[in-house]
A and B are shown apart, each in its own frame.
Chain A
Amino acid sequence: MIDENKIIQRVQSGDVRAFSELVDRHKNMVYSLVLRMVRSEEDAEEVAQDSFVKAYKTIKQFKGKSKFSTWLYRITYFTAINHLRKNKMLVARIDMSSFQANDKTALDNLNSEDQKKYIQKALEYLKPIERTLITLRYLDEFSTQEIEKITGLTKSNIKVSLMRIRKKMFGIINKMLANELGTIIKDY
Chain B
Amino acid sequence: MKTDKDILKDGVVSNFIQKTPSLDFTDLVMDKVKASTETKIVVAPLVSKKAWLVSLVIGGLIVLSSFGIEVQNVEMTSWSKIGFQLPQLSDFEVTLKLMIVVLSVFLSMTIVDVIYRKFKQHQFEY
A residues sitting closer than 8 Å to B (CB atoms) are 14, 16-17, 19-20, 23-24, 27-29, 31-32, 35-36, 41, 44-45, 48-50, 52-53, 56-57, 104-105, 107-108, 112, 115-116, 118-120, 123, 134-135, 138-139, 166, 169-170
Chain B residue, CB-CB nearest to A13: B126
Given contacts A19-B33, A31-B21, A57-B36, contact A49 B28 (CB under 8 A): yes
B17 contacts the other chain (Cβ, under 8 Å)?
A: yes
B51 within 8 A of A: no
Contact assessment for A135 and B26 in the assembled complex, using a CB-CB cutoff below 8 Å: no
| Structural contact, B13 and A138, CB atoms closer than 8 A | yes
CB pair A135–B16 under 8 Å, yes or no, is: yes
8 new A-B pairs (CB below 8 Å) besides A32-B17, A53-B36, A170-B4? A23-B30, A28-B20, A31-B19, A31-B20, A41-B19, A45-B25, A57-B36, A138-B13
Q: How far is the CA of A104 from the CA of B7 in the complex (A)?
A: 12
Does B22 count as interface, using CB distance less than 8 angstroms?
yes
B contacts, CB < 8 Å to A: 4-5, 7-17, 19-22, 25-26, 28-30, 32-34, 36-37, 126
Say whether A138 contacts B9, CB under 8 Å. yes
Contact in complex: B26, A20 (CB < 8 Å): yes
- Are A48's CB and B25's CB within 8 A? yes
Asked, given contacts A49-B25, A53-B33, whether A166 binds B16 with beta carbons under 8 Å apart, the answer is no
Inter-chain contact A49/B32, CB cutoff 8 Å: yes
Instruction: Name the contact of A35 in the complex, choosing from B7, B19, B30, B34 (C-beta under 8 A).
Output: B19
A50 to B25: give the CA distance in the assembly, Å. 11
Complex contacts, B16 vs chain A, CB 8 Å: 32, 36, 135, 139
B12 touching A49, Cβ below 8 Å: no
The listed residue (A16, A24, A29, A166) touching B26 by CB distance below 8 A is A24
- Please give me the residue from chain A that is nearest to B3 by CB atom: A108
* Closest 10 pairs between A and B when the two form their complex, measured CB to CB: A119-B11, A31-B21, A138-B9, A52-B29, A116-B11, A138-B12, A23-B26, A32-B17, A56-B33, A53-B32
Q: Which residue, B4, B10, B17, B19, has most C-beta atoms of chain A within 10 A?
A: B4
- Please, how many angstroms separate the alpha-carbon atoms of A123 and B37 in the complex? 39
